[in-house]
């Protein structure tokens, strides 16, 4: 099978998929494999809400929109019927809030804030290797109980680099593009906000010779992509250019890509000023969480935010 088929099976199969398992995956506790910005407690959610409210034009305007988080991790709040995901335990100004889990139908409509955190990097990757002046797709073969990487044959796709050094691996996040298209094709208007890690196409094509696919298990990163199928996370960088193009093709205009640090500093400055106003007397835990989310050496530059708007049908853009 192709590597994309293997990755889909290892992550999402109803019986053996990594994301179908009931046990915790995210956090810093025993048995978890990785942590995300949400692991910083409520601070991440507070920052996200503050930034989105500003992007929408203020709390009064935000009250017209429903918050929809796609791909939220299961939580105790979700099981009790309360809002889970990044808004768990938070007051918010939105008209309503809901989460869409991995096994639930992806339905969107009306005035919405469509939010995701590390959703697109978990979509299956197609892998290619440059060999003899051509691209060959990589796949996975099973011999007895041993998995191995195999070449499946020459491939020609318009989005593959025209040339690359011998042996160069190009990990193509095409399923992420398809997911963005599905999300954008539905009858909703409002704000799209995606937190993730990725690179522009030019960097993926020239600066990642070993590809970007990797695994996480017990907070250790590895390049052994075929180990522990179904028991470790598989991930890879998204291509921001492709996601922006998919959104634009469906009428989401003016997509902006910012580092996580820049996004919060520009769009949640008021919240940050208030949160840090206490100086040394401010909560140490909250200050550490803010620093972890914004510092360039932590999550501030390692993660990016793609946001875009779509006006309701017939609406005239407001000139500021």
* H-assigned helices in the chain: 3-12, 42-56, 59-62, 76-79, 174-185, 201-206, 240-249, 260-267, 269-275, 284-294
**Alpha helices (H) in 99-235, listed in sequence order:** 174-185, 201-206
DSSP letter, residue 4: H
- Report the DSSP beta bridge partners of residue 195: 117, 305
pTM of the model: 0.90
- Whole-angstrom Cα distance, residue 190 to residue 156? 37
The residue ranges of every structural domain in the chain are 1-23+126-172+209-235, 33-122+173-197+237-310
Dist. CA 35–CA 50, nearest whole Å: 22
- For residues 122 and 11, the answer to whether their CB atoms sit within 8 Å is yes
Per-residue pLDDT of the chain (320 residues; tens, 9 = 90+): 999 999 999 999 999 899 887 766 666 666 675 656 666 678 999 999 999 999 999 999 999 999 999 988 765 444 444 467 899 889 999 999 999 987 789 999 999 999 999 999 999 999 999 999 999 999 999 999 999 999 999 999 999 999 999 999 999 999 999 999 999 999 999 999 999 999 999 999 999 999 999 998 887 889 999 999 988 999 999 999 999 999 999 999 899 999 999 999 999 999 999 988 865 555 788 888 899 899 998 888 999 999 999 988 756 555 43
Is domain 33-122+173-197+237-310 in CATH 1.10.10.10, yes or no?
Answer: no
- Rounded Cα distance between 234 and 9, Å, is 11
Residue 206 is classified by DSSP as H
Provide the CA 289 distance to its chain's centre, in angstroms: 20
How far apart, in whole angstroms, are the C-alpha atoms of residue 236 and residue 238? 7
Q: What share of the chain is helix, strand, coil (3-state, %, to 5)?
A: 35, 30, 40
Q: Mind spelling out the 3-state secondary structure of 27-46?
A: CCCCCCCECCHHHHCHHHHH
């Amino acid at each position: 099978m192709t590597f994309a088929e293997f990755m889909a099976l290892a992550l999402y199969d109803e019986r053996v998929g990594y994301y179908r398992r009931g046990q915790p995956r995210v956090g810093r506790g025993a048995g978890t494999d990785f942590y995300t910005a949400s692991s910083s407690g409520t601070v991440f959610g507070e920052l996200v809400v503050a930034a989105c409210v500003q992007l929408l034009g203020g709390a009064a305007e935000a009250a017209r929109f429903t918050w929809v988080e796609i791909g939220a991790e299961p939580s105790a709040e979700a099981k009790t019927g309360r809002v889970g995901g990044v808004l768990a335990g938070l007051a918010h100004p939105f008209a309503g809030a809901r989460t869409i889990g991995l096994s639930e139908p992806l339905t969107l409509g009306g005035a919405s804030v469509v939010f995701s955190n590390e959703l697109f990097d978990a979509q299956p990757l197609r892998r290619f290797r440059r060999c003899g002046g051509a691209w060959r797709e990589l796949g996975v073969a099973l011999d007895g109980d041993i998995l191995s990487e195999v070449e499946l044959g020459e491939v020609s796709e318009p989005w593959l680099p025209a040339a690359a050094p011998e042996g160069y691996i190009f990990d193509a996040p095409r399923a992420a593009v398809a997911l963005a298209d599905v999300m954008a094709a539905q009858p909703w208007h409002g704000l799209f906000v995606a937190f993730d890690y990725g690179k522009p196409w030019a960097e993926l094509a020239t600066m990642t010779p070993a590809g970007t696919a990797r695994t996480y298990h017990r907070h250790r990163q590895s390049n052994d992509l075929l180990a522990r199928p179904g028991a470790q996370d598989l991930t890879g960088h998204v291509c921001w250019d492709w996601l922006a193009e998919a959104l634009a093709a469906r009428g989401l205009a003016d997509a902006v890509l910012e580092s996580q640090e820049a996004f919060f500093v520009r769009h949640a400055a008021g919240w940050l000023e208030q949160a840090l106003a206490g100086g040394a007397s401010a909560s140490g835990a909250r200050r550490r969480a803010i620093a972890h989310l914004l510092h360039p050496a932590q999550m501030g530059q390692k993660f990016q935010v793609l946001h875009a708007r779509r006006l309701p049908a017939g609406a005239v853009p407001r000139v500021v």
